[in-house]
Chain A
Amino acid sequence: MRPPPLLEVHGLTMRFGGLSAISELSFVAGQGEITAVIGPNGAGKTTLFNCITGFYRPQTGRLVLHHPDGKALGLETLPDHAIARKARVARTFQNIRLFPRMSVLENLMVAQHQVLMSASVFSLAGLLGLGRYRRAERAAIDLARHWLDRTGLTSFADSEAGALPYGHQRRLEIARAMCTRPLLLCLDEPAAGLNPRESSDLNQLLCGIRDEEGIGLLLIEHDMSVVMGISDRVLVLDHGCLIAEGSPDEVRRNPTVIRAYLGEPDESAVVLGGEG
């Protein structure tokens, strides 16, 4: 049984000049699922993320995000800040993009800026009574503390984000994304550069987010132990097209996928495939 859809992509095409980075891509990511997007370099995975989060405007196609309350938003029509705030999509980057000269806690507070602003300035209640703003700020700090706990960064709360070790920065990016209270969390190679222990901690964290928050995760990853270990569904892209889709086991045995990763079968590849 498939869960209800969270993100529906219909006929997405993104061209740069003459080059089609994504052509006619359609898929559905379910609520409460981890959907991995894999494919060789240049397959269009990061371009897909950039379309979802409003970095790029696709030439054609629709990206519909379904909220649990039945609301559906077309991401291709929203400005980037509204994608985070209204559609509630959060994202992390392949190359970490924290605010390096702010403290760890501040990084998490910035993610809740809109909530705090609407509690303070852009509502009459906020102007009249300071109490409401203070309550909102306390709630924001509580949420930040919760995610610091979950990512094991509590003792670093006041350190400068840019000074954290690499693995911590990766976790902080996830914590910051979660502080925006997303429905869909897009992770671009979260395991890149992590050692095996950190990588398995990451798996636990991501499964925890899926199971406890009930949100959907979209994951670009090259580390197959992560992909096969935690994803519910796997999408395989090559040259901007979806070439396979299914459970990790189905995808692993799919001959088209093997060909995309290992190249056209010449004799040695056939021998390899036969042995595997």
Chain B
Amino acid sequence: MFAVDRYPSVSSFDQAGPFRAASSGVWMEYFFQQVVNGLTLGAIYGLIALGYTMVYGIIGMINFAHGEIYMLGAFISLVAYLIFSSIGGGSVALALLATLLVTMVFTAIWGWVVERTAYRPLRGAPRLAPLISAIGVSIVLQNFVQIAQGARVKPLPPVIQGGVTLDLGKTFSVNISWLQIVIILLTLALMAGFTWMISRTSLGRAQRATEQDMKMAALLGINVDRVVSATFVIGAALAGVAGLMVTLYYGVIDFYIGFLAGIKAFTAAVLGGIGSLPGAMLGGLLIGLTESLWSAYFSIQYKDVATFAILVGVLLFRPSGLLGRPDVEKV
């Protein structure tokens, strides 16, 4: 069984149960509650999915070690938070901010190291080689954390508590925890900053150019290796933030969480159209919503089946995804 299933699930908000709902007010309340939970989950998936889609866009490779970077981010944030909260003198916000920065920096370094050691030497090798290397890195990182941190689940008591209750109409209201608000706002801010970086800065232009024609970019004086490194570093930092969020949101992590979250984020990237950045964000949200609504109305045991059924469906019927560009055959 996947370790993730041990987490208090998103539907722990489910106290009344949907089918016992007596009035439409209760029904609406339940629905909107699940949407809020789904958006939160989707934000986390979206942040991870960006890393998959960026790397695929630029070097045409699925970085299957990306989920492990997210897992490392969760561990780094846990350790960093424990350190900062003990020396920070009581300010939770300050400790969280420091944790965020440290997590981003360290996961970025991990991303750089992985690219440098496992993928760059294989640039130009057959496509299967870096894929196998990625799976190797994934196993190495999982085992490294398992040995270094132990296989047991690591708990973190809730850091941000409380929330707001939105009254929507007369008959029902929705609870949004502060943590959910923080996660969604931070994700929006990161995605906005990231979009700005890609579309407006010189590095972003170089990334898009490298994505479209790597050789030509090099001929214009762009150090392509450095651009690819930057892509891994940025993707890893975003996955690190997702790791921090999941640590805070679920309060328990272990060395195995990268696997399932990684594949789900990959599903999100494929659903949105692999290589498309808005697609990754949209795909993340849709996968998050699917999971939480499926758990709410059908069977929580089958929520992963539902997610991966989407993956199969997209690959069968719309391989280019929702926002992806269909491959145009060059003549």
> Provided the pairs A116-B202, A117-B202, A117-B203 are in contact, do residues A110 and B219 lie with their beta carbons within 8 angstroms?
no
- Select A53's contact among B205, B213, B219, beta carbons within 8 Å: B219
Report chain A residues within 8 Å CB of B218.
54, 79-81, 84
In Å, the complex CA distance between A80 and B223 comes to 9
In the complex, the answer to whether B221 meets A85 with C-beta atoms within 8 Å is: yes
Task: Indicate whether A100 reaches chain B with its CB closer than 8 angstroms.
Answer: yes
Task: Indicate whether B222 reaches chain A with its CB closer than 8 angstroms.
Answer: yes
Query: Which stretch (A101-109, A197-205, A264-272) binds chain B?
Result: A101-109
In the complex, the answer to whether A180 meets B208 with C-beta atoms within 8 Å is: no
Task: Indicate whether B206 reaches chain A with its CB closer than 8 angstroms.
Answer: yes
In the complex, the answer to whether A102 meets B208 with C-beta atoms within 8 Å is: yes
In Å, the complex CA distance between A120 and B206 comes to 14
In Å, the complex CA distance between A84 and B205 comes to 17
In the complex, the answer to whether B213 meets A113 with C-beta atoms within 8 Å is: no
B47 to chain A minimum Cβ distance, whole angstroms, is 23
Task: Indicate whether B260 reaches chain A with its CB closer than 8 angstroms.
Answer: no
In the complex formed, the residue of B with least CB distance to A119 is B202
In the complex, the answer to whether A180 meets B205 with C-beta atoms within 8 Å is: no
Within 8 A of A (CB), among B207-223: 208-209, 212-213, 215-223
- Select B219's contact among A84, A109, A137, beta carbons within 8 Å: A84
In the complex, the answer to whether B212 meets A84 with C-beta atoms within 8 Å is: no
Q: Is the interface of B mostly helix, strand, loop or mixed?
A: helix
Report chain A residues within 8 Å CB of B221.
81-82, 84-85, 111, 113-114, 180
In Å, the complex CA distance between A234 and B219 comes to 25
Task: Indicate whether B224 reaches chain A with its CB closer than 8 angstroms.
Answer: yes
Within 8 A of A (CB), among B166-225: 202-203, 205-206, 208-209, 212-213, 215-224
In Å, the complex CA distance between A43 and B217 comes to 27
In the complex, the answer to whether B219 meets A91 with C-beta atoms within 8 Å is: yes
In the complex, the answer to whether A110 meets B222 with C-beta atoms within 8 Å is: yes
Complex interface bits, A30-54 against B, C-beta within 8 A gives 1, otherwise 0 = 0000000000000000000000011
In the complex, the answer to whether A109 meets B215 with C-beta atoms within 8 Å is: no
Counting chain B CB atoms within 10 Å of each CB, the highest count among A81, A93, A106 belongs to: A81
Report chain A residues within 8 Å CB of B206.
110, 113, 117
Task: Indicate whether A156 reaches chain B with its CB closer than 8 angstroms.
Answer: no
Task: Indicate whether A99 reaches chain B with its CB closer than 8 angstroms.
Answer: yes
Report chain B residues within 8 Å CB of A117.
202-203, 206
Report chain A residues within 8 Å CB of B223.
81, 114
Report chain A residues within 8 Å CB of B213.
97, 99
Task: Indicate whether A261 reaches chain B with its CB closer than 8 angstroms.
Answer: no
In Å, the complex CA distance between A90 and B221 comes to 9
Counting chain A CB atoms within 10 Å of each CB, the highest count among B202, B203, B205 belongs to: B202
In the complex formed, the residue of B with least CB distance to A102 is B208
> Provided the pairs A102-B208, A116-B202, A117-B203 are in contact, do residues A110 and B217 lie with their beta carbons within 8 angstroms?
yes
User: Could you name 25 residue pairs across A and B whose Cβ atoms are closer than 8 Å?
Assistant: A79-B218, A80-B219, A83-B219, A84-B220, A84-B221, A90-B220, A91-B219, A97-B213, A99-B208, A99-B212, A99-B216, A106-B208, A109-B202, A110-B205, A110-B209, A110-B222, A111-B220, A112-B202, A113-B205, A113-B206, A114-B223, A117-B202, A117-B203, A121-B203, A137-B202
Residues in chain A within 8 A of chain B (CB atoms): 53-55, 79-85, 90-91, 93, 97, 99-102, 106, 109-114, 116-117, 120-121, 137, 176, 180
